[in-house]
Amino acid sequence: MSVQTSQPARTAPGGQFALGLTITLLLVGLASALAYLPWYRLAPATTFISAHPVLNAFLDAIVVCAFIAAQCLFLIWLERKFAGWLQARLGPMHVGWKGTFQTVADAVKLLLKEDILPAHADRPLFVIAPYLVFVPAVLAFMVLPFSLTWVGYDFGLSALFALSISTVAAMGILAAGWGSNNKYSLLGGVRAVAQLLSYEIPMVLVVLTVAMVADTLSLTQIVQRQAGLWNIAAQPFLMLPAFLIYFACSLAEVNRAPFDLPEAESELVSGFHTEYSGMRFAFFFLAEFANNFFSAGLAVVLFFGGWLGPGLPAPVWFTLKVLLLIGLMMWVRWTLPRLRIDQMMGFCWKLLVPLAMVLLCATAVWLVRG
């Protein structure tokens, strides 16, 4: 008895052209971002760009969007390979060298797929929801410092801005669930809002704890205060439990296992984005991985010294630390099973919120007595 093995499908000529065009545009965008960032920061104040604030802000936004798209493509490929390694599977292997371009091919597929609008959907909510989810992710990146100079917009309340802008995505998720006119989407949207708003409370308390120790709400200044020793090592009795609480909350904020209840495939098909296709679905996907990178980056800023490190350039140190934390998130996702909705909410309100409040009060007492 012979066993036939399936062969990978061959890409049509049109698909090859689309793939090549996408790769070319991606490389051009990456080259422009890498070339633009250091030059722009070192340019004298009399240059044409510095003299036009609107153009300056527009170029900043282009750089941030290009970086988000590039890091999302890389993280999706990395997660597939990591999951394959962790679960003794191959992962993507056929498109490109050992699946290197599989994520790019998936992006092209989303660009070419038909954009379907359900007949009974609430059209305004259905259309605007992906942008309400994606735009806050872009705005959050504007205050994330890769170094002292590689930051889109630095001001004294950047930590507060990062926390406040992340809650706006809850409106987009609820709009997607309600606007789809689908019971599974609505359940996913309601779950997502309950989860995001609940886990935002202990996360805010933890960030306030770090801000109290650093005596500032500026993300760049929080990093500079760790020049001698990182927070996680300088006050381990305070910062280690704070980091653990933040890490659990960040997993819930980005809807990653074991807190992926809003998208639970076994219960809700795909949750709030069940009815979405094409680029509208891609916006949800981009926002999820962008928030994943941002939450890891914020943890690096708060607890692990941000861009500080010997030898390598500051942005390289920051990126390496972020990738290590993202690898930890992937490890948790592909290891732990999904929680029930009551377990997920109870874990927040019965454990994380009291612990975060005790930690905040303990920090205040320690600072007053110190």
DSSP for 205-252 reads HHHHHHHHHHT---HHHHHHTTSSS-HHHHSHHHHHHHHHHHHHHHHH
21-25, 125-129, 225-229: least confidently modelled range: 21-25
Any residues with CB less than 8 A from the CB of 223 and at least 6 apart, and which?
A: 145, 301, 305, 306, 307, 308
In order of 21, 32, 308, 313, 326, the CA distances from 40 in angstroms are 28, 11, 22, 17, 29
Q: Is the pLDDT of residue 287 over 70?
A: yes
Q: Is the pLDDT of residue 224 over 80?
A: yes
At 49, is the pLDDT very low, low, confident or very high (cuts 50, 70, 90)?
Answer: low
Q: Is the pLDDT of residue 270 over 80?
A: no
Q: State how far the Cα of 4 lies from the Cα of 6, in Å rounded to an integer.
A: 7
pLDDT of residue 46: 42
pLDDT of residue 47: 55
9-18, 68-77, 216-225, 311-320: least confidently modelled range: 9-18
162-166, 285-289, 303-307: which is most confident: 303-307
Structure tokens at 213: 């120790």
At 370, is the pLDDT very low, low, confident or very high (cuts 50, 70, 90)?
Answer: low
pLDDT of residue 28: 43
Range 284-299 average pLDDT: 91
pLDDT of residue 321: 95
172-181, 248-257, 266-275: least confidently modelled range: 266-275
| Percentage, residues of the chain above pLDDT 70 | 85
- Estimate the crossing angle of helix 278-303 against helix 53-86, to 10 degrees: 90
* Structure-model confidence comparison of residues 11 and 66, the more confident one: 66
CA dihedral 5, 92, 79, 131 (to 10 degrees): -110
* Structure-model confidence comparison of residues 60 and 202, the more confident one: 202
pLDDT of residue 52: 64
pLDDT of residue 48: 54
96-100, 136-140, 309-313: least confidently modelled range: 96-100
Q: Is the pLDDT of residue 45 over 50?
A: no
Range 353-361 average pLDDT: 95
pLDDT of residue 32: 42
CB 300 within 8 A of CB 321: yes
Chain mean pLDDT for the chain: 82
Q: Is the pLDDT of residue 363 over 90?
A: yes
